[in-house]
Structure 1
């Protein structure tokens, strides 16, 4: 039998996905705005890459929020049906996708 605490735990996990996505979006804005600030302040050229990295972080944050929403709904459906199953495959694929994006961005900075 599913208890209310199961649903509350699912909501807490969803809120953690939201916090992570918002942090990535905020960090993306900081990267993009700081690059523009340097360009205005010092006349530094070539900050277009930093703006692009910031934009990628913003999009990644939005993707994280959408992924969290998907997992939240799938888990709620499973809890309501009493058929909860692990999502280790989709979570692993998502983690690898984020890791690939992070490594690619890191290599482009060098």
Structure 2
């Protein structure tokens, strides 16, 4: 029997959940990076030429989300091994969140706000 098996398996499930989330963020970043293709097709099918469409921002934001997803995987891996060592240690330790996780959460919220404003401006330019 593995000592503290339920703790180790919970740690692994949490790690895998972080990896799945990171893959989703990276997939959304790739989709967003290719958003300019949608805008190009929408502009060509519009009756009038849409002025003010800027696709460069979606490319940078998409690349940013790809980077954030990669950093999430690195952070999740570091956290997995830190928790694994803490579970195996005989002495008790404090469990706390890291400033990196908080910074990434703030970064994702800022990207979401920017994306909302960006898409609203693109829709306004198309109509």
- TM bucket, shorter chain: 0.7 to 0.9
TM-score using structure 1 length:
0.80
RMSD of aligned residue pairs (Cα, Å): 2.4
Partner of 2:11: 10
Could you tell me the TM-score, scaled by structure 2's length? 0.71
> Structure 1 unaligned runs (5+)?
none
Q: Secondary structure at the match of 2:54?
A: coil
CA distance in 1, matches of 2:105, 2:7: 30
Instruction: For residues 53-101 of structure 1, give each alpha carbon's deviation from its aligned partner in whole angstroms, at most 9, with x where no partner exists.
Output: 11111111111111100000001111122345344241xx234312332
Partner in structure 1 of residue 102 of structure 2: 96
More helix by share: 1
Number of equivalenced pairs: 107
Bigger Rg, structure 1 or 2: 2
1:15-94 equivalences in 2 (<5 Å): 15-39=16-40, 41=41, 42=43, 45-90=53-98, 93-94=99-100
Where do 4+ consecutive residues of structure 1 move more than 6 Å? none
